[in-house]
Amino acid sequence: MILVGKKDGLIYSYFGIGCVFCSLVLFSLVFPLTQDTSRNFACRNVRICLGVATFPVQVSFPFPLLFLQVIKCKAAVLWEANKPFSIEDVEVAPPKAHEVRIKILATGICRSDDHVVTGGLVMPFPIILGHEAAGVVESVGEGVTSLKPGDKVIPLFIPQCGECSACLNSKGNMCIKNDIGSAAGLMADGTTRFTCKGKPIHHFIGTSTFTEYTVVHETAAVKIDSAAPPEKICLIGCGFSTGYGAALQTAKVEAGSTCAVFGLGGVGLSVIMGCKAAGASRIIAVDINSDKFAKAKELGATDCINPKDHKEPIHKVLTGMTGYGVDYSFEVIGRIETMVAALASCHYNYGVSVIVGVPPAAQNITFDPMLLFSGRTWKGSVFGGWKSKDSVPKLVADYMKKKFVLDPLITHTLPFSKINEGFDLLRAGKSIRSVLTF
C-alpha cells in the first residue's frame, strides 16, 4: 500500500515495498495538487520513506509544468484582409520559458486593429488581432518570477524589459522587444502558440487579445489591482493611455496653454482629458463629424471646429483663432494631410505638434521645411510615452481613486461573439470604444 501525507511543510510518501524512483514519481504527481503552483521551478525538501526508514532529499523539478496542457477555446480569426472575423475553435499551447498564458476577460476594439483588417497595416494571415485588454494569468512558463496564476493583468503591446537602451533611458518607452512594425506575427522563438484546423495562426504585436486565452512574454504583461473592473480598465491597455499620455508625457502640456486635437475618437478624447488634467486654458477639438462635439465638450474641449464649415485650410482657421497658432497640437487620425495641418497649426516659433495616430504603411510625408526651421517641434508618441510596466499599475490605481473617468469613452459593451458588429460601429462612426466581454 502507498500512503501520501504532508507534515511540517514536507510531502511524505510511505511504501511498504518500493523504491526511491517510484516515490519521486508519485510525489511529482501529487505535488501540484498540494502545493502553491505560483512558481513553476523550485527546490523542495522531500522526505522519502521506505518501510520504517525515512530520509530527506532535495528535488528540483518543474512539477506544475507537468500539468500544463493545450487549451481549446474560442477566438476571432482573421483569415484574410477585408473579410469579417470568424469565431473559431483554436488551440492555445502552454507558455514556454518566460511566457504567461492569460485568460482574457474583456478587450476593446481599436482603430489599429481595423487598419490590419483593411490592409492599412500589413500583417501575415491568418491572425488573431486585439491588443487592448484585461485578464487573469492562467499559467506561467519556466523562469517567470513577476507574475503567477490568478494575477489580474493588462497585456502590454509595448513591453518593458528593463534592460534595453529605451527602457534604461528616462526619456524612452519603446522597449526594443516590442513587436510593432514586425511582419512576422510570431513569438520571440519564431513560433506561434495558436493553431486552428491544423494551421498555425499568427500573433499581433505581442498580445492577440481577440481570444479567450492568449500567450505573451513576461515583459508584455503587468499585474494590476485585483478589484479593478476589466471591462473598464482594459482601455488603459491602449486607447486611454495613448491619448492621455500624449498630452502629459510626450508633449508635457503646460497650465494655461492652448491645444488643438485633430480627431475625436477614443484616443483623441483621451488627449483632451490629458490636456485638461494639465491645466490647458483652451482646448480646440477638430473633427469632420460634428456629432462628436458634445462628448468632446463633456470631457474638456472649450471649442469645436468642423473643417467642412470653413473655406480656409484648418491651420489658417486655428491661427486666426489664436493669433500665431496653438502651443500644442495632436494628430490622432493617422492621415498624412492632417499631420502636416496639425504641425502648421502650431505657434511658428515654439509650438509642439505630436503625431499620435498610426501612420499609413509605405507612405511618405511631404512638407515645407520652413515649418520646422522657425522653431516648431514635431514629435511622435507611442503608448503615450509611458513606460508600460511602471505606469500601467499606477494608471489603474488612479482610475480606482477616481482621478479620471473611463465610462464616457465606452459607448458599447458587446459579447465577444458580436465582434464584427463592434467593428461595423467603429467604421460607421457610431462608437467611441466598443468593449467585448467573455
Cβ-in-10-Å burial (0-12, 13-18, 19+) of 191 comes to exposed
Q: Please pick, among 167, 175, 234, 238, the residue that the annotation labels catalytic.
A: 238
What residues contact residue 8 under an 8 Å CB cut-off, 6+ apart? none
- DSSP states of 90-159: EEEPPP-TTEEEEEEEEEE--HHHHHHHHTSS---SSB-----EEEEEEEE-TT--S--TT-EEEE-SS-
- The neighbour count for residue 59, using CB atoms within 10 Å, is 16
Angle between helices 111-118 and 419-427 (to 10 degrees): 90
Q: Please pick, among 131, 202, 203, 217, the residue that the annotation labels catalytic.
A: 131
Q: Which amino acid is at 405?
A: V
Query: CA 402, CA 368: separation in Å to the nearest integer?
Result: 44
Q: Which three cell numbers stand for residue 51?
A: 518501510
> Strand 42-50 and strand 10-15: pairing?
parallel
Cβ-in-10-Å burial (0-12, 13-18, 19+) of 161 comes to middle
Q: Please pick, among 13, 110, 139, 315, the residue that the annotation labels catalytic.
A: 110
> Strand 258-262 and strand 282-286: pairing?
parallel
Query: CA 425, CA 438: separation in Å to the nearest integer?
Result: 19
What residues contact residue 270 under an 8 Å CB cut-off, 6+ apart? 239, 240, 241, 242, 243, 244, 409
Known catalytic membership, residue 167: no
Q: Please pick, among 112, 139, 353, 391, the residue that the annotation labels catalytic.
A: 112
Q: Please pick, among 115, 203, 315, 347, the residue that the annotation labels catalytic.
A: 115
Known catalytic membership, residue 347: no
90-126 as b/e: b if 16+ CB within 10 A: bbbbbbbebbbbbbbbbbbbbbbbebbbeebbebeeb
Provide the Cα torsion 57, 69, 206, 411; round to 10°: -120
4 pairs with which residues across the strands?
13
Query: What is the three-class DSSP state of 345?
Result: coil
Q: Which amino acid is at 204?
A: F
Known catalytic membership, residue 202: no
Check residue 333 and give left, alpha or beta (phi > 0: left; psi -120 to 50: alpha).
alpha
Query: CA 242, CA 111: separation in Å to the nearest integer?
Result: 12
Residues known to be catalytic: 110, 112, 115, 131, 238
